[in-house]
């Protein structure tokens, strides 16, 4: 008889401890911590997943809206279609292309193709190197006041390696001799990779007119790609150097380099 009574007695305080009106500070803190955890989790989902969804879509649309972007490149079937290639007598190696108007800030003035990254790789290049205005919403950014495609000097561009459509995600796969093809409204510029290295974020000499030799001035036609390193970090920068093979006017086919997709 006494044992059930004891059980009843033991349960009663528990029922009393749960009244709806009672607000336990610990409970509220617990709920706020759960909320904070959910928000942090959502932020990670946004950064690692949603920015890529948005970035890929936005950069795709930008390329499709460029009236001058080569349609077969945009379609991604340039390697399989019987596309005309640029004849050798139109390739220029020893002089600058006709001067183009220097693009406005955030203006998309070129596209980039990298056969190593697949025959469907085509991304817009826009003027500026800030994240908020260029790199996050528009993809690849061109360092202000560096050379334009095909010109003497250094055509220096920057892009995300992870998130926001990650245009330079596969930068670590590039090998010496791989082609970097840039198209503007007027010209094709074909570069090849000469070297790569990992530098500190403050190593501005890599985008000098002659990479890593700011005192030398303009000594050739270079391209420099910069992106994050290691992935998901900004501790260092992965830098790819290249040199111009030739430039050629648009409207006479595509560079033959686009047709060879390295395996």
Measured from the CB atom, the residue of 85 and 162 that comes closer to other proteins is: 162
Strand 221-229 to 153-158 pairing: parallel
Toward other proteins, which CB reaches closer, 9 or 20?
20
DSSP one-letter code for 254: B
Residue 241 pairs with which residues in a beta bridge? Answer: 195, 224
Q: By the 8 A CB rule, do 222 and 168 touch?
A: no
Q: Pick from 70, 72, 119, 136 the residue near other proteins by CB under 8 A.
A: 136
Out of 79, 92, 100, 203, point to the residue binding other proteins (CB under 8 A).
Answer: 203
Cβ atoms of 157 and 142 closer than 8 Å: yes
Among 228, 240, 244, 258, binds other proteins (CB under 8 A): 228
Cα 30 to Cα 18: distance, rounded to the nearest angstrom: 16
CB atoms within 10 A of CB 130: 13
174 and 193 in contact (C-beta within 8 Å)? yes
The reply on whether position 56 binds other proteins by CB under 8 A is: no
Give residue 243's Cα distance to chain centre: 20
We find the least distance from the C-beta atom of residue 136 to other proteins, in angstroms, to be 7
Q: What is the footprint of other proteins within residues 156-195 (CB under 8 A)? A: 158-164, 168
Give the integer Cα–Cα distance in Å for 181 and 183. 7
Query: Site for other proteins (CB under 8 A): which residue of 92, 199, 256, 261?
Result: 199
Closest approach, Cβ 176 to other proteins, in A, equals: 21
Q: In angstroms, what is the minimal distance from the CB of 45 to other proteins?
A: 9
CB contact at 8 A, 212 and 262: no
Q: Does 43 bind other proteins (CB under 8 A)?
A: yes
**Minimum distance from residue 162 beta carbon to other proteins (Å):** 7
**Residue 7 makes contact with other proteins by CB under 8 A:** no
CA–CA distance, 27 with 32 (Å, rounded to integer): 9
Shortest Cβ 207–other proteins spacing (Å): 6
Task: Tell me the window of 27-35, 90-98, 104-112, 242-250 that interacts with other proteins (CB under 8 A).
Answer: 27-35
Q: Is 256 in the site for other proteins (CB under 8 A)?
A: no
Number of residues near other proteins (by CB under 8 A): 43
SS3 label, residue 131:
helix
Task: Give the Å distances, CA to CA, from 196 to 1, 14, 163, 185, 225.
Answer: 85, 68, 22, 29, 9
Chain residues that interact with other proteins, rule: CB under 8 A: 20, 23-24, 27-28, 31-32, 39, 42-43, 46-47, 50, 129, 131-132, 135-136, 141, 143, 158-164, 168, 199, 201-204, 206-207, 226-228, 232-234, 237, 239
């Amino acid at each position: 008889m006494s044992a059930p009574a004891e059980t009843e007695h033991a349960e009663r305080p528990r029922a009393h401890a749960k009244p709806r009106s009672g607000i336990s500070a610990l409970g509220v803190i617990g709920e706020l911590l759960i909320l904070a955890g959910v928000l942090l989790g959502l932020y990670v989902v946004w950064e690692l997943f949603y920015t890529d969804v948005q970035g890929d879509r936005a950069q795709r649309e930008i390329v499709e809206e460029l009236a001058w972007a080569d349609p077969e490149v945009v379609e991604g079937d340039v390697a399989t279609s019987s596309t005309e290639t640029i004849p050798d007598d139109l390739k220029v190696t020893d002089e600058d292309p006709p001067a183009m108007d220097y693009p406005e800030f955030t203006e998309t003035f070129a596209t980039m193709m990298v056969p190593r990254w697949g025959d469907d790789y085509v991304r817009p290049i826009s003027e500026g190197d800030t994240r908020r205005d260029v790199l996050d919403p528009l993809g690849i950014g061109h360092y202000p006041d560096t050379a334009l495609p095909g010109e003497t000097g250094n055509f220096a561009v920057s892009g995300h390696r992870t998130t926001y459509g990650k245009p330079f995600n596969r930068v670590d796969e590039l090998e010496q001799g791989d082609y970097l093809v840039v198209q503007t409204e007027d010209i094709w510029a074909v570069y090849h990779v000469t070297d790569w290295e990992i530098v500190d974020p403050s190593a501005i000499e890599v985008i000098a007119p002659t990479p890593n030799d700011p005192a030398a001035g303009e000594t050739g036609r270079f391209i420099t790609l910069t992106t994050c390193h290691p992935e998901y970090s900004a501790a260092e920068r992965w830098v790819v150097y290249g040199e111009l093979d030739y430039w050629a006017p648009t409207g006479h086919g595509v560079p033959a380099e686009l047709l060879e997709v390295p395996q």
